[in-house]
Amino acid sequence: MIQANVLVVDDEAINLEIVQGYLSSEAGFQVLAAEGGEQAWQLLQDASNRVDVILLDRMMPGLDGLALLKRIKSNARLSGIPVIMQTAAISPSQIREGLEAGAYYYLTKPYRPDDLLAIVHAALSDSAARDELKRQLDQHLDSLRLLNRAEFRIRTLTEAAQLAALVAQTCPCPDKVVMGLSELLINGIEHGNLGISYAEKTRLKREERWLEEIQHRLALPEHRHKVVQLDFQRFDDEIVDASSKWILAAPAIPMAAALHLPGC
């Protein structure tokens, strides 16, 4: 059973009550409530208040949801908390603005309780995966920074996480690199090899069937020999240069994408 503290931020008391009711029905969830952006920020400033995921209304007086989101993402201690934005506004530009500011997901009102719970669970699951990647980073030896050239091939999400943790350790700031590299490798598996579109992934995440579908497709005969190849090379005048290739079997390379890993 997942144990999680969920912070709900909304200036409308009736909305707070409704959402608290949805979340409180889920075993293991503890709900914290804030009646506006400033109150939420004060709560988050207190390190004794552990918050695992935030459900944030966008349209609020004073410190609105977008401004609070930007504060959260610019704070080193809080930036890793997934933030789910909710609003009645359905403008594509507003949704894009929220996602670009760091929102994990954008829920448009009204929504079903099951949709909310599915997204919250997905956010918690992804956050836990990120924390596990960081834990793996800490276990690697500093000697990995001596790595100059390597070629890796992976098939599964587990291998993607392990490889991301390994390669990131060769960089000066591995914690800034590991998530981007992990997302690139996962993208190679799910989109490049298995043909899962962004729309399909969104639906599968909402239905909590994404991992199940990945495992199903990996087992299909047409996908069993597909791998993601990552070629790593360090240069004297650059931090890292890496490229990833989604390949069926060498030398056939149907698609490729370059990644330049940033320094600190």
Residue 242 confidence (pLDDT):
45
**Are the beta carbons of 77 and 47 closer than 8 angstroms?**
yes
Is the preceding peptide bond at 110 cis, omega within 30 degrees of 0? yes
Low-confidence stretches of the chain (pLDDT beneath 50): 239-242, 246-264
Residues of the chain with CATH 3.40.50.2300: 4-131
**Bridging pattern class, strands 83-87 and 105-108:** parallel
The phi-psi region of residue 62 (left if phi > 0; otherwise alpha if psi is between -120 and 50; otherwise beta) is left
Residue 256 confidence (pLDDT):
38
Residue 31 confidence (pLDDT):
93
CA 147 – CA 261 distance, rounded (Å):
15
Residue 54 confidence (pLDDT):
97
- The CATH architecture that domain 4-131 belongs to is 3-Layer(aba) Sandwich (3.40)
Residue 137 confidence (pLDDT):
64
**Which H/E stretch holds residue 115?**
helix 113-139
Say if residue 107 is exposed, middle or buried (CB neighbours under 10 Å; 0-12, 13-18, 19+). middle
Residue 98 confidence (pLDDT):
85
Residue 25 confidence (pLDDT):
85
